[in-house]
Each structure stands twice: as C-alpha cells, then as structure tokens.
Structure 1
Amino acid sequence: MQRITILGATGSIGVSTLDVLARHPDKYQVYALSAHAKVEELAEQCARFRPARAVVGSADAAARLTALLRERDLGTQVEYGEAALCSIAASAETDTVMAAIVGAAGLAPTLAAARAGKKILLANKEALVMSGQLFMDAVHEHGATLLPIDSEHNAIFQSLPQSYARQPGAAGVAKILLTASGGPFLNRAVETLEHVTPDEACKHPNWVMGRKISVDSATMMNKGLEVIEAHWLFGAPAALIEVVIHPQSVIHSMVSYVDGSVIAELGNPDMRTPIANALAFPERIESGVAQLDLTSIGTLQFHKPDFARFPCLALAFESLEAGGTAPALLNAANEVAVQAFLERRIGFRDIDRVIARVMHENDHHAATSIDAVLACDARARAAAGSIVAGLAR
C-alpha cells in the first residue's frame, strides 16, 4: 500500500490525482492533503479519502476547515502554513508526494520532500525553474526518486531508455523535442493581442487547467518554463531542446536519436495519464482516460514557434542561457504580471514587457542557496509590482 501526500489537492492536478487513486483503493492510501484557501472543496476531499492530516494556508482557513470536519466527525488533523506543508511532505508516514502547488509557494515543501528521500511526482515547475541545481542536488544526495508529471516531461521520460544518464548525448540522444499546442492565440493576428481579455486567454483549446497556467499557455511562458525544467530533468543544454508547435496535443513530446529515430509518446490530452504512469512506475495502471483513436484524428500538424507572437518563450531561453538566478527573475516577474493581467490591471502584451524589464534591469547571481534564490524572487516581485503600477495608471 503506497501512502500519498498531495500538495495542492484542490487544483486540477490534485483533483486528477485523487480520481486515479480512487480507482485503485487496494494500491494507494491518502496520508495528507493540502489546499491554500479552497476550504469547502478540501473538506469534501477529506470526507471521501479520510487523510490523517490536512494543511491550509492560513489560521482562518484552518478554523473553517476544522469546523467543517468536526461536523462530519472526521479525525483529520488540521494545520496551516509553510512549516506544516514541509512537515507533511517529509513525514515518515508518507511514501510519495504529489507536488502540485502552483507558483513559488511550492518550492519549500517540494524541497523538503527531496531532502526526506521521497518519491516525488513533480507537477510544480518552480522547484526546478527557480532552484534547479539545488533541487537536483538534494534529490541525488538524499536518494529521492523524481518522476515528472507535466505531460511533456512525462512523455520524454517514457521515450528515453531507463538506462539514460543525465548528460548531453547519453544513450544516443540527439535532441529533446517539447511539443506545444500554441494555446488559444496560435492563429490570431498578432496586432490584436493587445486587446485580449482574461477570459479569452483562459480558453485553452485542448486542456482544462487553472487560470494562471492557462494564461502561461497563451503566452507560451508555460513552454518556456518547461524548457528550463527539461534542462534540469534530463541534463540537456538549451541547444539540444527544441519546441515544436503541435496544435492537436496528441503527441505530448518526443526524443530524437543520433541514428535518425524519433520516439514519441501519444495519448488523449488528459493529465490522468502521466499521473497514473508516475504513480505506478515501472508498472502500468488504468487511469480512466479513453484509448486514443488515431483514425478519428486524421492529421497531425507541426510548426516552428514564432518568437514575435510568443516573446515569453524567447525570454525563457534567454534566462536559461544566463543561468544562476535569472530563471527566478523570469518566474517571479511572470507570476506578478499574470496576476495583474487576470485582475485586468494590465494588458495581455504587457506581460512579456514586464518580464523583459525585470530581467534586464535587475542583476542575477549564482544560485548558491535557497535563501539567495528567495531573495532574488522577492526583489523581482517588487520590481515587477512597481512596473505594473506604472502601467496601470
């Protein structure tokens, strides 16, 4: 029986994970669940899965959750705050941690899981984007197992030989090909993107995701962050990572080999597939996802990305090449800018302008410690906030 902690249980990844777990009650048991503020949803999950512990973001949320669980006579222990998140991630009572908290808030508990030697199902991009070397060092030093949940990285993981070593050219790998749908604005006239609304940006053509990650997909920052992740996960330099626009989202990513072969992972666009793959690895379990019918698809298309349309993707490559804390600057500025856009304080194309200014107007340094990374993150957020305030006037 594998005991699971889910960080970010009420988000789309957390909900999909619980759906897979519910299909295999003989294999998996939920140890702990966390959510930031969705108390009612978390209470419903606790009622169904009866975790030993539940963590929320604030004392007020904890009080509300405690009251709801008391009404149901559940024995779940309610806690709140970052220290509690780190505790459930590192607990001896859990075997596997689904790291699905969105944003920089997921960094500390995911790192705690690595230092505790857990099996980590990584859906939190920031652990690698902000502190890739530090995080990977912790994984290796403490014997943690790291399995990617992003559909693209999971596809690459499945397309690589199990003997693959994290270094350029290992096992005859020539290039890693990250596929991208292109989001909702792939064919929209570039000059009209100034007037995009949050609701339009959140209407992804293939995937059902949260609002922040949906905007990241529309700007292709999501793919840029995945490029940085792929660098750390697979030991590939930026020159060996290529982004390919694939609007159908059937091929989730590919690996090109020196002999001319290209191995790809295909499937319907449903996050339960990579979740099930990582949960059961190296075995396979039923995920609830329908089998792919290639005859109903008919045509698969591929295009090179247009950096004029997607400047955020170019900025992500730039930050990877710069190294150190440059990706932390990128990530923090993006989070601030996207939130401002969702709140209608800035326009859609202001997102990449804010990020570019933060990156080019602030120094980056070697990522020598988590404190250094977090200090860079705080500095970038303050800078981005000032820029947003100027744009919003």
Structure 2
Amino acid sequence: MPDSAIRIPHSAFPARRRVSLLGATGSIGQSTLRVIAAHPDKLELVSIAAHSNWEKLAAIAAEFRVPRVAIHDATAFESARASGAFPPGTELLPGPGGLVELARSPEAGTVLVAVVGTAGLRPALAAIESGKTLALASKEILVLAGSFVMDAARRHGARLLPVDSEHNAVFQCLEGRPASDVARVILTASGGAFRDWPADALARATPADALRHPNWAMGPKITVDSATLANKGLELIEAQILFGLSPGQCRAVLHPQSIVHALVEFTDGSMLAQLCPPSMTFPIQHALLHPVRAPGPESALNLEKLLSLEFRPVDETRYPMLALARQAMRAGGTAPAIYNAANEVAVAAFLEEKLPFTAIPSVVEKTLQALPATVPQALDEVLAIDADARRVAAGALP
C-alpha cells in the first residue's frame, strides 16, 4: 500500500485547514459543506468550483465567504460574470484552467476533488504536483490514470486520502498495517434500485426507476452505476490501485443495509470492518480532519435500533458490469479506462432514454472487445484511449 495513501503524521496539517472544494454543487460537495459548517474552528473553505451551476456557487460563496470561484462551462461562466450575484470582490476563474488554478493555489492545503467523470484529472494532478493533500472523491481519476496519479503523489510528497465511503473504510481498517498482512479487501454494495426486482423486469426499467436508490442520495450517474454495479466495479479497480493490491485481493458482496462499508480480511483469517450510517459526511469528515476525530453533523449508529446486518454473494450474471470490471482489472493497462469511458457513454444514453437499462453492459463489452488493452507510457496516451473508447461506445449504441 502506497505510503502517500496511508501514513500521515499528526503534524501534517495546520490547526485550521484551508480547503478547496472542486465539485461544490453536487451531492459530495453539499455533504462537504455540511462538514465544513460543523467545524468552523477546524476547517476554512477558501475556493470552490463547479461545472455550470453558478447560482448555487454564488449562494455558497456568500454563505462561506469564499473569495475564489471557478466555473468549468464557458457559457455558465459568462452568465455568472454578468449576473452580479457573487459577493463583491469574488474572483471568478473560467474553464478547466480555472479548476487547475484553484487546485495548485497556495491558499489551500487540502483539495477535495468531487468532479464527476474525468474532468477532475488535471486539477487532481495539479494539487499533487503542488504537494497538497488530495481528498479524492472522483473514482474515475484513479481508474483512468491510476499509475500516473500514484507515481506523482510519491514524487511530490503529496498525501492522497480516499473520500469514497468504501475506500475510506478500507483506509481506516488498514491504517498502520503492512500490505503483507492483507489477504483481501471486501467492498460492500447496496445492490441499487433494482436489487429486489425480478430479472425479467429490468428491460422495462426507466431512468426514474433507477434513480430511486434505497439508501443513498447521490447524483444521477453514480445512482445508475449503483443499479448496474458498475460503481462497485470502478471501486474494485480503484481499491487495487490505491492500496497496491492484486485483482484477486479485491472482492465485493451485497449488503442491503449500507452500514458496513468495507471489510479487510488479514492473512490470519481475522477481519476488521468499518460501520457508520449511509451518509457521505462520515468519510468526508474523516478525510478532511484526519487524523483528528470530532463529533460530526450527523448522529452515529444506534445499535439498539440496528436489528440485523445482511450479506449476500453477488450474482455476476444479474450484474454483468461487475464481471466486466473484473475482466478489465485482469487485463490491466488501459482496460479500466476503456471500461469507465464506455460506461459513461452508455449511462448518459440510458438517462436520455436512448438505451435500455439492460443494454448498458453490452455497450461496455463491445467497447472492451474493440480496443485491446495497452500499457500507456504517458498521460496523453491515456486521454487518447479515453476519447477512442467514447467514440467506439457511441458507435455501439442502437
């Protein structure tokens, strides 16, 4: 397991940590704001960014007195600049370069990247190259370019803390333990909106159906991924990269209650598990305050009301996206990036009602078959294969 991800001295952070939040208007961003609001003596929000929702950014800038704001979308940036909605003196930065500027700016010691998809890669690398603490919520970044990200973290002495609930749970279970002690990590999956649907009903599933997650409040793309278990496939790939594991050491089980977020099995057969309510405020706070523990914005588990914890094996014939992810893990190289890109294209088509839910795996499988995995030597090669995979996946749509 990489030192940059798991060994952080108590003296690594100042008393009040200055945070740049990229992806402030999404579900992760909103949970992060709740954590920051709960700890005004420990956390200060110094910059924020989003793709296009400048109205919400303006409200956040006013509430948290944020001096610097970046807006990715050019049209939204121009609307924001002309609106007069931001507090006087707020600096507005345009486009992808604006996110990179916030990520590398010396005003923040911690950069939390919660940008959907691959748009967060350049800002994440900018934060790492500036020697900052990177709190990473965008799993696509490691899936797309994990070897480059982890190598950069080692070279620049940056600290990488996982914000995904499952990886944060693994982090907590592993902290201070050598990789040689680990037999495997087991990530839990709720099973998504269709967990208890008859298999023959899935062909009629609509986007509205898929977005009714039983446990979590998340964005549309990740909620659909939860229903296909592509989300868990991406998380298995990320766990392999983040903790230096082999594909065979990364497993998944269904856990309908979403209370146990991950388990770690050690070589002696014992297991550690991390438990908390299904709210992203818990892993976010852990990452932002680490290694400090403090009361959070939400209540802990009440074991007097927690009646049972259930675990089931994953049926990969029902969830073929998990099987395809494991195939990509074994192939290595660019295969995970191809899997991720094709899935993004297929999910977008499903949300636009241009693709049946059950056809999502077919688009991904065809794309993986069309583009053999290679070992990239430079980041530009990874970005090129990402573009190729999106083109091939778009061609595989009905």
Q: TM-score, normalised by structure 2?
A: 0.94
Matched, 1:240 2:244: no
In 2: Cα distance, 1:288 partner to 1:214 partner: 23
The answer for unaligned runs of 5 or more in structure 2 is 1-15
In 2: Cα distance, 1:73 partner to 1:120 partner: 28
The one of 2, 17, 21 equivalent to 2:36 is 21
Call closer, same or farther: CA 1:346–1:51 in 2, change over 3 Å: same
CA contact (8 A) 2:188 2:255 kept: yes
Aligned amino acid, residue 157 of structure 2:
G
The one of 76, 86, 106 equivalent to 1:61 is 76
Matched, 1:115 2:113: no
In 2: Cα distance, 1:72 partner to 1:142 partner: 35
Q: Deviations over 1:351-386 (max 9, x none)?
A: 110000000111221122110000000001111111
CA contact (8 A) 1:111 1:127 kept: no
The one of 194, 200, 208 equivalent to 2:203 is 194
How do residues 270-285 of structure 1 correspond to structure 2 at under 5 angstroms? 270-285=279-294
In 2: Cα distance, 1:63 partner to 1:50 partner: 21
Q: Deviations over 1:241-269 (max 9, x none)?
A: 11111101111111111222111111110
In 2: Cα distance, 1:352 partner to 1:271 partner: 28
CA contact (8 A) 2:62 2:87 kept: no
The one of 340, 346, 350 equivalent to 2:349 is 340
C-alpha deviation, 1:163, in angstroms: 4.2
Alignment-derived partner of residue 185 in structure 1? 194
Matched, 1:325 2:339: no
CA contact (8 A) 2:52 2:77 kept: no
The answer for unaligned runs of 5 or more in structure 1 is none
Call closer, same or farther: CA 1:72–1:108 in 2, change over 3 Å: closer
Aligned amino acid, residue 309 of structure 2:
L
How large is the RMSD of aligned CA atoms in angstroms? 1.2
Q: Secondary structure at the match of 1:184?
A: coil
Alignment-derived partner of residue 40 in structure 1? 55
Alignment-derived partner of residue 391 in structure 2? 382
Aligned amino acid, residue 268 of structure 2:
D
Call closer, same or farther: CA 1:100–1:73 in 2, change over 3 Å: closer
Sequence identity of aligned pairs in percent? Answer: 46
Q: TM-score, normalised by structure 1?
A: 0.95
Structure 1 segments of 4 or more deviating over 3 A? 70-73
Please say which of residues 272-281 and 285-294 is displaced more in the overlay.
Answer: 285-294
Q: Secondary structure at the match of 2:30?
A: helix
Q: Secondary structure at the match of 1:295?
A: coil
Aligned residue pairs, count = 383
Q: Secondary structure at the match of 2:33?
A: helix
Q: Secondary structure at the match of 1:154?
A: helix
C-alpha deviation, 1:47, in angstroms: 0.8
Aligned amino acid, residue 76 of structure 1:
T
Call closer, same or farther: CA 1:71–1:282 in 2, change over 3 Å: closer
How do residues 292-303 of structure 1 correspond to structure 2 at under 5 angstroms? 292-303=301-312
